[in-house]
Structure 1
Amino acid sequence: MSTELLRRKLDRAFDHLDASGNGKVERDDLLGLGALILVGFGESPTSAAGSKVLHGFESIWRALSAELDVDCEGAISPEEFRTGMTSVLSEDERFDTVFRPAAEAVAELYDTDGDGVVGPAELRGMLSAFGTSHDDADTALDLLDHDLERGISVGELVEATRAYYRGADQGTACDQSFGSL
């Protein structure tokens, strides 16, 4: 993968995680993002689905802070994030351990009818919580909906998230998952 493409993807991810906008990712940012997703969806943090989402984001924070917060200040800088995430995302097992639980919890939350598919309106709502415009969400759906069913399975959505960070070629469908690069 080109170094520049990976840098842009990681910078986009950092911006999504830096909910406070203070230039560093802290525990409150991740939990705040989880809470924003729940509030935007009208889900209680104490419900089974809400607890699963918040637990997923807490797990991401614990893993990232343990591995990426090299100066132990309780915050991850953009530089620490880029360097550490390159390592974390280079192995499928690490993605599955660190990111899959939260990605699945969020995707399942947005699968409002429980059919295992995140439809257009559901995907638009989910991606808007991450700061993606509705137009970019619609583009992502068009590119990711391989079977033209007007929806993406929860599993496909999780794999699209993995491919976003691991895809080697610019311009692939997964590159559009969180808006145009």
Structure 2
Amino acid sequence: MAIDLLNHKLDRAFDHIDASGNGVVEREDLLGLGARILVGFGESPTSRAGSGLVDSFDGIWATLTAALDRDADARFSREDFRIAMTSAFVKGDRYEPVFKPATVTVAELCDHDGDGLIGPGEFRTLLSAFGTAYDDVDEAFDRLDRSGRGALTRDELVLAAWQFYACDDPNAAGNWLFGPL
């Protein structure tokens, strides 16, 4: 993967987590992103889906801290985050067992009505939790909805997440997951 593209995408991910903009991320920041997702979909953190999201985000944090040989109370700079994400999820073997289950849980939450599809409104709710600019959401959705049916399947959203975080194709639709790079 071109290092500039990877760093740009990982910087975007860092900014999603660092909602306060203080230049570091901590476990509470990642769990805060999870909380924003849960609130957006009206889901309790103690429900099956809610606890699944919290547990999967905790698993991501544990994997990131292990990648840098730090404890759970660690704080990551942008560069630390890039190194940990690359080591664990991009080049390492932790994407499938750790990161992908989190994306599956998020896709299940997005499919709020359980029809197997994620419509534009559900997608907008998700991206607002990540802090994506309102004007970028429609274009992101259109880029991901390659069939033009007006909805994404859960699997398409999970694939888009993989393409955003781990794919080396600069033309992959998933690069648009959070809007234009």
Asked whether the two chains share a fold, i.e. TM above 0.5, the reply is yes
Is this contact kept in 2: 1:19–1:30, CA < 8 A?
A: no
Q: How does 1:5-16 map to 2 (within 5 A)?
A: 5-16=5-16
Output the amino acid matched with 2:77. Answer: S
Output the amino acid matched with 2:13. Answer: A
- 1:140: which partner in 2? 140
Secondary structure, counterpart of 1:89 in structure 2: helix
- Which structure 2 residue ranges, 5 or more long, are not aligned? none
Secondary structure, counterpart of 2:87 in structure 1: helix
The sequence identity of aligned pairs, in percent, is 54
For the aligned residue pairs, the C-alpha RMSD in angstroms reads 2.0
Report deviation, 1:160: 0.6
Is this contact kept in 1: 2:44–2:50, CA < 8 A?
A: yes
Is this contact kept in 2: 1:9–1:164, CA < 8 A?
A: yes
Q: How does 1:1-181 map to 2 (within 5 A)?
A: 1-68=1-68, 74-91=74-91, 93-181=93-181
Q: How many residues are paired up?
A: 181
Is this contact kept in 1: 2:26–2:73, CA < 8 A?
A: no
Whole-angstrom distance in 2 between the partners of 1:66 and 1:166: 19
Output the amino acid matched with 1:104. Answer: V
Output the amino acid matched with 1:46. Answer: T
Output the amino acid matched with 1:118. Answer: I
Deviates more, 1:38-47 or 1:9-18: 38-47
Output the amino acid matched with 2:43. Answer: E
Is this contact kept in 2: 1:14–1:81, CA < 8 A?
A: yes
Output the amino acid matched with 1:59. Answer: G
Report deviation, 1:57: 1.0
CA 1:92–1:20: 2 relative to 1, 3 Å:
same
Report deviation, 1:31: 1.1
Whole-angstrom distance in 2 between the partners of 1:126 and 1:18: 17
Whole-angstrom distance in 2 between the partners of 1:78 and 1:91: 18
Superimposed CA distance per residue, residues 137-158 of structure 1 (whole angstroms, 9 cap, x where no aligned partner): 2111111112222111111111
Superimposed CA distance per residue, residues 104-162 of structure 1 (whole angstroms, 9 cap, x where no aligned partner): 11111111110111111101110111011232121111111122221111111111111
